[in-house]
Amino acid sequence: MIFVMGPLFSGKRSYARTLCGEDEMIVDVQELAAPGADLTALADRLAARYRVVVATETGGGVVPIDPGERAARERAGRLSCLLAARAETVVRLFCGIPQALKGELP
């Protein structure tokens, strides 16, 4: 599995489309890290089902004052860590430029 991550509007989805078809990828997985979700099981399912998994970084800005928003950001970050651990390749996109954090660029 290839895990692609980066900030909003950095070209993640366009890059993922160069790697596989729409049916082999899932985007915005940070939205799946709902309260009470078993993040380990979720990461296992996503890694087994999809060739490319795409997440938006959520922890690079101002810390939200709302406790619920902080908790959602924490869960999204934990899910990203679990996915990165399972991935053969981790790609960070910034300004449309892919950078391999783990493995080699496809």
pLDDT classification of 27: cutoffs 50, 70, 90 = very high
DSSP strand E in 1-106: where? 2-6, 25-26, 52-56, 89-94, 97-102
Q: Tens of pLDDT along 61-97? A: 788 899 988 898 999 999 999 999 999 999 999 999 9
Q: Are 46 and 2 in contact (CB under 8 A)?
A: no
pLDDT in tens, 38-65: 999 999 999 999 999 999 998 777 888 9
- Helix 39-49 vs helix 67-86: crossing angle, to nearest 10: 50
Q: What are the tokens at 81?
A: 């860590």
β-strand partners of 53: 3, 26
Residue 23's pLDDT is what?
96
Domain assignments of the chain as residue spans, ordered by start: 2-102
CATH 3.30.1300.10 holds for 2-102: no
